[in-house]
Amino acid sequence: MTEPVLAVEDLHVWFDLEQGGELHAVQGVSLALQTGERFGFVGESGCGKTTTILALMGLLPSSASVAGRVLLEGEDILADGEESVSPHRWTDIAMVFQGAMNAFNPVKRVGEQIAEPMKLHEIAEGRTARRQVGELLERVGIPAARASSYPHEFSGGMRQRAAIAMALACKPKVLLADEPTTALDVMVQAQILQLLIGLADDFGLTLVLVTHDLPIVAQVCSRAAVMYAGEIVEIGATDTLYHDPRHPYTRLLFAATPDLYDEEPVLSIPGTPPRLDRELVGCPFAPRCDRAFAPCDRVKPRLVATDTGHSAACHLNDPALKAAS
């Protein structure tokens, strides 16, 4: 296997809390992504997905502390904080933010804003930048002439397309997309997902999609990580996660997804995720788990391989522990 385009090694993120103490939002995330791979992060709100990708971009607020390594083609882009990450931000690794309206300044024309990262990184300016902006807009399905429009003159779907064009302005290798279809109607959602797949294929992009929506991951990504309480609790091929989940949380996430063709009732996952501002003992999912057994409350499960390319953090995958319980 070739060197991954992006490797994350033991990433931790803490936030200092105003009232004192820390919130440990990301706890030891590791993964490696190949060029052109489409990868998903999935889990409930607050599980650490968005914080993880903001850390990859070096865009966390000053109250955050980060430990671990983020290797972009072998170079640790977080090694010297802002100094080492800023040359790569937008040029090598770019992001489509949650809520496309927030990505744009309402009083500047869309085209000018798409051209900004090109100018900032001295990739193009003037007529060349305008031409490239037009080409990008056309590629995402917006007539080039609409570059002179203001964000409020676009529909929600067009704003999302323009936000994707802006993220692609400097031809990054890795595109992070944070809930890119939230607040869009079902038809537009499908179009945006198809657009992302097409762009990833055309440009050889590595796409990292963050969503709470499992069907979206299944549609777009070949591999995914399920996050819970700041950790990856299961990672593997999307197909395998669906047909052979090895963590009860993954199984319950799928069971909690409506399926038009299945008459089985949609289940909800009981309880709420744990607080991350206090030390967790045992399996973080234990209070909500329908399969919990003797060691789960006191022994923390590690992420271990259950099959080739498939790992899960659950004691059910340890036959010795199960037999001894």
Return the number of other C-beta atoms located less than 10 Å from residue 245's C-beta: 22
Q: Which two tokens stand for residue 75?
A: 């170079």
Stretch touching ligand SF4 by CB under 6 A, among 7-15, 253-261, 272-280, 310-318: 310-318
Nearer to ligand SF4, 159 or 247 (CB): 247
The total number of residues written for the chain in this structure: 325
Q: What is the distance of C-alpha 130 from the center of its chain? A: 30
Looking up tokens 């004192």, which residue turns up? Answer: 20
Looking at the DSSP bridge assignments, the partners of residue 7 are 32, 71
DSSP state of 41: E
Interface with ligand SF4 (CB under 6 A), residue from 95, 292, 306, 311: 292
Strand arrangement, sheet containing 75-76: 22-33, 6-16, 64-72, 75-76
Cβ proximity of 151 and 175 under 8 Å:
no
Nearer to ligand SF4, 15 or 285 (CB): 285
Stretch touching ligand SF4 by CB under 6 A, among 22-30, 133-141, 212-220, 287-295: 287-295
Task: Quickly list H helices, the chain.
Answer: 49-57, 82-85, 110-120, 126-139, 156-167, 186-203, 214-220, 238-243, 248-255, 319-324
Interface with ligand SF4 (CB under 6 A), residue from 115, 196, 289, 303: 289
**Closest CB 47 distance from ligand SF4, rounded Å:** 14
Q: d(Cα 52, Cα 12) in Å, to the nearest integer?
A: 9
**Closest CB 275 distance from ligand SF4, rounded Å:** 17
Query: According to the binding rule CB under 6 A, does residue 130 interact with ligand SF4?
Result: no
Cα torsion angle, 101, 107, 113, 119, sign? negative
**Closest CB 308 distance from ligand SF4, rounded Å:** 21
Nearer to ligand SF4, 97 or 285 (CB): 285
Query: According to the binding rule CB under 6 A, does residue 283 interact with ligand SF4?
Result: yes
Q: d(Cα 90, Cα 96) in Å, to the nearest integer?
A: 10
**Closest CB 282 distance from ligand SF4, rounded Å:** 8
**Closest CB 304 distance from ligand SF4, rounded Å:** 11
**Closest CB 272 distance from ligand SF4, rounded Å:** 15
Stretch touching ligand SF4 by CB under 6 A, among 53-61, 121-129, 260-268, 284-292: 284-292
Nearer to ligand SF4, 88 or 315 (CB): 315
Sort strands 206-211 and 174-178 into parallel, antiparallel or unpaired: parallel
DSSP state of 124: -
Q: d(Cα 257, Cα 314) in Å, to the nearest integer?
A: 22
Count of alpha carbons within 13 Å of 104, Cβ hemisphere only?
A: 30
Interface with ligand SF4 (CB under 6 A), residue from 29, 94, 147, 286: 286
Nearer to ligand SF4, 196 or 296 (CB): 296
Stretch touching ligand SF4 by CB under 6 A, among 132-140, 169-177, 283-291, 302-310: 283-291
Query: According to the binding rule CB under 6 A, does residue 235 interact with ligand SF4?
Result: no
**Closest CB 311 distance from ligand SF4, rounded Å:** 13
Q: d(Cα 191, Cα 66) in Å, to the nearest integer?
A: 36
Task: For the segment 248-267, give every residue that binds ligand SF4 (CB under 6 A).
Answer: 248
Query: According to the binding rule CB under 6 A, does residue 296 interact with ligand SF4?
Result: yes
Interface residues with ligand SF4 (CB under 6 A) are 247-248, 283, 285-286, 289, 291-292, 296, 301, 314-316
